[in-house]
Structure 1
Amino acid sequence: PRDGSPTATRRTPLDALPSPVRRLPVLLTLAAALVAGGGFGVGALAFGGADDGTRSPEVRAKPVATPSALPSPTVTRSAYPYGRQVGLRDGLGAGQCVDADWKGEDFEGRPGLKLVDCRDDDPQGQVIATVAAERGAPATDTEAVRGECARRTAELRATMPDPVLYVLTPESGQSEPPASACLLFLKHATLGGPLGDFRRFGDEVYITQLGPGDCINSEEDEDGSTTETLVSCDEPHDEQIAGWTWASGEGSSDSVDTGGLCEEKYGVDWARGKGHEMWGWSSTDEEWDAGFRHVMCSVAREDGKKLPAGGMKPAY
């Protein structure tokens, strides 16, 4: 049973999984591919007239080939298309999840990346979209690619707490490079699983996978933790996500009235006078102590019954 100031963690199904905090830096290398042309000569045999009326062959001088320096060939696809430091041998695709190893500051420089399972693991980042270079433009045109990645991820980022957009461009010198990858990470937290449209109804989810407008069913486990399942708002459901708030100060997650924080920020719009109440959900103690002090706020019925199908709208 819930009390008046609920706090739930998001590690119910995957408590045994490590929450890796491995990071490493990114330096986009721009190298120019040297392409030079080489010449070659062709010998020709021509026939000219003779005084006696007969034809005899006239041999002309054979042009001499002009030596030229051989260029460094442009490869079709490098063995490490994003660079050896990244460590991937294939191009990334939308929906794939990764762990990142940053050598310096998080999200700076070029990281080492490892593909992980989006659902069985606890990924640090996910490829939300890919951007192919426009015809005639270099694949490493980071400014243009970053702008397109920002546009394609804007709607999802608006639902996330402290998202980080990281753009991974291919290494230069490839005639057929992979598309640039638009990855999303969170500051001080792992994703917990797939994001946005890559989730499925019926998935067990962590709060870091959720955002305003999502609907969930919650089930309390024997150990007191709670399992949240993503469901369609078109069906009756336990809770609907209203948004995020921030817990200031330096206290532990147990010392914070997360429900009170959510009531203060969203109660007037979502709960007051409607037979509804606000709930607050925090992440793991480890991530809380690392700086992820975001609280997910949801609205539920005071009597514990399900919200009706169709989804709720704020009053204001």
Structure 2
Amino acid sequence: MQSEAPESGVGRVIADRYLLLNRLGSGGMGHVWLAHDQQLDCEVALKEIVFRDPDEEEQDRTTRVARARAEARHAAGLRDHPHVVTVHDVLEHDELPWIVMEYVPGALDLKALVTRRGPLAPAECARIGLAVLDALTAGHERGIMHRDVKPANILLAPDRTGSPYARVLLTDYGISVQPDTQETRYTRSNMLVGTTGYLAPERAQGGPPTAAADLFSLGCTLYYAVEGFGPFDRDSGIAALTAVVLEEPRPVLRAGALEPLLAAMLAKDPVHRITAADSEVALAAIVTPRAHPRTDPDLGSQPQWASGALHTVEPEVLASRHPHETPWPAPTAAPENHSDWASPSSDHGPAHPAHPGRRSPGTRTDGRRRHHRAKALLAGMATTLGLALLVSGIMYGLENLPDLRALGGGTVSGARPYGDAIGLTRALRNGDCVDADWSGVPFTDQPRLTVVGCGEGTDGQVMAVYEAGSAEDARSGGAAQCDRLTKEADGLLADTRGYAVVPTADGFDTAGQRVACLLLGTHGPVHGPIGEHRPMGMVFTDTATMQKRDCLDRLSDSRAKLVPCDGPHDEQVLAFLRLPSTEKLKDAKKEGPDICQKEVPPKEYGYPHDTYEAAVWVGESGWHSDSHFVVCTAMRQDRRTMEKDEP
């Protein structure tokens, strides 16, 4: 066996068959590559074992190789399951194993999805939970415990119809185990195996892996998906482990119907924890409620945003943002006499009052009893936990702490991450808003970028980041990857265009080894946060930030508020209509409703023609920058609010 990791890189051929195309991601065991199977002429995913420390003890190296083989064996045993990533083969190259897996195009893990879009709706979380629970149960029936259920190990991908994020897949059986067999335990005896904050309390105290422990981890995962942060998130691994054992989960804000189920899944004592069978019943009831058959959602494989309900952030949480959400300043209300843009709604009477949001769920009434019980346990566990947590936490941290460069901090090398032309001195992060000063031809030459607040006049925003395997990978494939990552958001906006901010070779580490994927206004500013970075309840200052399928409350002739589509709303955006460059602004405002009614009739979007009609919003700033588009919406003819089940 070699004394150090084999050289990796794009263009390398593994086992005379698999051509490495680009790195898809990295984890505690190594790297996952997109590869081309030259024999079958198809794309696969290859998992590579990487030993970052050349001096790693031979025993530890042997253990990690054995764990890789175990992962392949366990996952291969579930290869026919629709919610488990298929393992095709395990091979050896340069005396190290490589796992050949199904390549899932367009996949995004749940952690990345929540980071990008914000917390998901309870019904969507329940749909994902049902699929993962089905996969876990199939493994449990074979005696296989996953032991590392977490958001990053759940992939969401398009299904055969192309519906985004419809397919749910559980991956990474790298630390799974069959406790009822004679199988070797490929873990260190003085180290906890799993992810802090998602590990069941009994596992944190040295207990064996069980189906109940996997269920607790799934509860933590669903909590993260619906809330946007973990129930036991803390500043350090030791603090998170302590919270798992001794503290109650953080109070929920958005869980809604999921709240009682999450409480049952996160019970400290596995004896009192809800069973998998009862969890399945509860999740199914949330996905398909029985109380209102007329409005029952037939989710099937359809994620919430595929059917038009894109917004999952509840209005009441805007007043108290938590540190895990995307950082942007809440937009301020535009002045009543704001004249930048207008709608033809002045003849429709006064604006409707804001619709009150749902009351945030309170904390559970039994929280104090559990708190006292936890305190009573503290003395008894102090001896066993103290040393174990310290040693285990240190060992865990050393092996599993993420590369700080990948978190956007970068290695301080003195290099500008994107070169002198771009001018930035720090790495761009997802959600950053920028001003772009083009000294040459826009979208051809490099712009001078400045990170600014996401307010009126903003030129664009970082909508995604691509983690590159190398500086060369960033340079050669960054633009294409950014185009893929921002394609959906770009398609929902009227006048944006993508731009990949690629790090230089010298600034690659300072940039966090990432390409920043921008969406910039094509003909002018985007006027604030765009896409899924917009907070629910924001007041639009220009039509440039509106997107297809948005639901709006009309506040005045020139002001509209973004509201959830699953509640009362005044109108919904259908499409953008570009008018001739000779069309005057005043004519567009006057004739817009008739033009939208003719060119974008609401009936073609499912709105009955005898109940709904077209309306229009026209932005002055976009008009003056020669984009010449109007926003066509559907609204009720009687001006009553539309409900979630309309049309």
| TM-score, scaled to structure 2 | 0.35
Matched, 1:125 2:460: yes
| Structure 1 match to 2:598 | 264
C-alpha distance in structure 1 between counterparts of 2:543 and 2:528, whole Å: 10
Return the alpha-carbon distance in structure 2 between the equivalents of residues 246 and 17 of structure 1.
21
Could you say which residue in structure 2 is the equivalent of 1:113?
449
Shift of 1:175: 6.1
Residues 102 and 112 of structure 1 are in contact (CA less than 8 Å); yes or no, is this contact kept in structure 2? Answer: yes
Structure 1 equivalent of residue 471 of structure 2: 138
From 586, 593, 614, the equivalent of 1:278 is 614
> Contact 1:86/1:111 (CA < 8 Å) preserved in 2?
yes
Which amino acid in the other structure matches residue 83 of structure 1?
A: G
Tell me: CA distance 1:89–1:16, structure 2 relative to 1, closer, same or farther (3 Å): farther
Paired with 1:310 and 1:131, the residues of 2 have a C-alpha distance of: 37
Match of 2:532 in 1: 197
Return the alpha-carbon distance in structure 2 between the equivalents of residues 16 and 307 of structure 1. Answer: 26
How well do the aligned residues superpose, as a CA RMSD in angstroms?
2.5
- Aligned partner of 1:251 in structure 2 is 583
**2:474/2:515 contact within 8 Å kept:** no
8 A contact 1:214–1:241 mirrored in 2: yes
Residue 151 (1) aligns with residue 484 (2) = yes
Match of 2:628 in 1: 293
Letter in 1 for 2:334: P
Aligned residue among 291, 307, 310 for 2:642? 307
Number of residues of Structure 1 aligned to a counterpart in Structure 2: 238
Match of 2:79 in 1: none
> How far, CA to CA, are the matches of 2:428 and 2:494 in structure 1?
25
Q: Are residues 163 and 143 of structure 1, via their aligned partners in 2, closer, same or farther at CA, if it must alter by over 3 Å?
A: farther
Where in structure 2 are there 5+ consecutive unaligned residues? Answer: 1-331, 341-410
Q: 1:16 to 1:89 in 2, by over 3 A?
A: farther
CA contact (8 A) 1:139 1:169 kept: no
Q: Deviations along 1:241-266, whole A, 9 cap, x unmatched?
A: 11111111412111121112211122
The CA deviation string for residues 115-160 of structure 1, in whole angstroms up to 9 with x for no partner, is 1111x342101000111211xx325643311111111111111112
Whole-Å separation in 1 of the counterparts to 2:339 and 2:431: 21
Amino acid corresponding to residue 552 of structure 2 in structure 1: I
Could you tell me whether the CA contact under 8 Å between 2:417 and 2:508 is conserved in 1?
Answer: no
- Would you tell me which structure has more strand in proportion to its own residues? 1
The whole-number CA distance in structure 2 between the counterparts of 1:294 and 1:17 is: 17
Q: CA–CA distance in 2 between the matches of 1:175 and 1:145?
A: 12
Q: Which runs of 5+ in 1 are unaligned?
A: 1-10, 19-74
Q: Pick 1 or 2: higher relative contact order, CA cutoff 8 A, min separation 6.
A: 1
Verify the 8 A CA contact 1:99 1:114 in the aligned structure 2.
yes
Provide the rounded CA distance (Å) in 2 between the counterparts of 1:201 and 1:163.
21
Partner of 1:172: 505
Q: CA deviation at 1:104?
A: 1.2
Per the TM alignment, residue 174 of structure 1 is displaced from its structure 2 partner at its CA by: 4.0
State the SS of the aligned residue for 1:157: helix
Report the Cα distance in structure 2 between the residues aligned to 1:12 and 1:76, rounded to whole angstroms: 40
Matches for 1:6-85 after TM superposition, within 5 Å = 13=334, 77-85=413-421
Which structure carries more helix by proportion?
A: 2
TM-score with structure 1 setting the length? 0.69
Alpha-carbon distance change, 143 to 175 in structure 1, aligned in 2, over 3 angstroms: closer
* Whole-angstrom CA distance in 2 between matches of 1:174 and 1:188: 30
Residue deviations 1:179-200 (CA, integer Å, cap 9, x gap): 1110001221211111121111
Q: Corresponding residue for 1:183? A: 518
Cα distance in structure 2, aligned partners of 1:117 and 1:218 = 25
Cα pair distance change 1:216/1:153, threshold 3 Å: same
Structure 1 pair 115/123, CA: closer, same or farther in 2 (3 Å)?
A: same
Amino acid at match of 1:184: L
| Structure number with larger C-alpha Rg | 1
Give CA-to-partner distance per residue, 1:26-84, whole Å, 9 cap, x none: xxxxxxxxxxxxxxxxxxxxxxxxxxxxxxxxxxxxxxxxxxxxxxxxx8633421112
User: Cα–Cα, structure 1 residues 278 and 16, in superposed 2: closer, same or farther, change >3 Å?
Assistant: closer
Letter in 1 for 2:475: T
Structure 2: distance between partners of 1:80 and 1:175: 9
Structure 1: how far apart are the matches of 2:498 and 2:462?
10
Aligned pair in 2 of structure 1 residues 140, 201: CA closer, same or farther (>3 Å)?
Answer: same
Equivalent residue, structure 1, for 2:438: 102
- 3-state SS, counterpart of residue 548 of structure 2: coil
